[in-house]
A = this chain, B = another copy of it.
């Protein structure tokens, strides 16, 4: 498909934009959405940009019953000079196709959907907020729409992109969180869907998340489903630990989401010649490092927060304070570098940014 083939129906009743300081995550949506359909006969077709609107879907549509769906999450940023740029969007569409394969959903044309996304963001560019720390969150997703109750891959799908202006993740500067290590529930296991970005993984995580939230923890740290010993990831972040000068992150073992931010962190560390290893890490290893004073920093990485320092881990009822509950030096440096590149304040040596507009109107 050619990007020229995308039909555009402009919204004739644009909404009022929320005030930048009142933006929450994922509650406000822009004036337009991108939609395209799939059928076995036509493949992906009927690509259009249209006013943001409810979907009309048969109650027997497979997504409601058998969870055949995938999604992605990425962001567009407004630079100081007013341009709008996307952060590593090709990585997200590449990952979406990996998720598609696991969920038996037809492949998308990565180049085409990137062009469609650029066109959509261009149309809604006034929705990209400009204040410090704000951004436009982008949610591409695919749902199975065949009206059929048999347990089988759907023959019809919708690919949709919606956009949501979001406020700063850190209202008062980057700040460490308290995380509880989950011993009862399991998010994913090797052979399952853990490395795909699909709804079921998140549904599985709600219960553990809810239980620890009551005790004041912001997220859970998932352990592996087989031995219940090895560290996997946090709710919606990958995790890193700095032990005795070396940075360690769990290897991509099949049950962990391969985060785009994780990849960016690894590239930066290598660029800086900081020793880093991707391998299996047990909670016991962390506890031992904590005991002998070599657990220097811990942080999560993800699109929403970029870097989220971990100030406290609670495991089997015992508290492990990390770096006196303060943001570590390396965590801060990574955060400043990635956000600096995203907002166009720093050079972009890895070509992570993709321009949507040149000198677009600033919405402030």
Contact = CB atoms under 8 A, between A and B. Distances in A.
Given A56-B54, A59-B55, A63-B64, A164 B189 contact: no
A29 B61 CA distance: 12
A203 interface: yes
Nearest to A206: B104
Interface in A177-210: 184-193, 198-207, 209-210
A150 B25 contact: yes
A57 B54 contact: yes
B143 A64 contact: yes
A303 to B, nearest CB: 12
B186 A191 contact: yes
Given A64-B69, A210-B153, A225-B189, A26 B148 contact: yes
A66 interface: yes
B56 A55 contact: yes
Nearest to A193: B204
Contact of A25 (B27, B149, B160): B149
A47 B352 CA distance: 51
A52 interface: yes
A152 B102 CA distance: 24
Choose among A29, A57, A190, A200 the residue with the greatest number of B CB atoms under 10 Å from its CB: A200
Contacts of A185: 191-192
A155 to B, nearest CB: 12
Contact of A26 (B29, B60, B192): B60
Query: Chain A, interface size: which category?
Result: 35 or more
A235 B209 CA distance: 29
A322 to B, nearest CB: 24
Contacts of A275: none
Interface in A5-33: 25-27, 29, 33
B193 A200 contact: yes
B104 A210 contact: yes
Contacts of A147: 27, 29
Given A151-B236, A186-B190, A200-B193, A52 B56 contact: no
Contacts of A60: 26, 29, 139, 162, 164
Nearest 4 interchain pairs by C-beta: A200-B200, A67-B199, A26-B149, A186-B191
Given A64-B141, A151-B209, A185-B191, 12 more contacts: A29-B60, A29-B147, A52-B59, A65-B202, A67-B67, A67-B69, A68-B199, A102-B207, A103-B207, A189-B226, A193-B203, A200-B204
Interface of A: 25-27, 29, 33, 52-60, 63-69, 71, 102-104, 137, 139, 141, 143, 147-153, 160, 162, 164, 184-193, 198-207, 209-210, 225-226, 228, 235-236
27 contacts: A25-B149, A29-B60, A29-B147, A53-B59, A56-B56, A57-B57, A60-B164, A64-B71, A64-B141, A64-B199, A65-B139, A65-B141, A66-B203, A68-B199, A102-B207, A103-B203, A137-B149, A152-B206, A153-B206, A153-B210, A186-B190, A186-B192, A189-B225, A192-B225, A193-B204, A199-B199, A199-B203
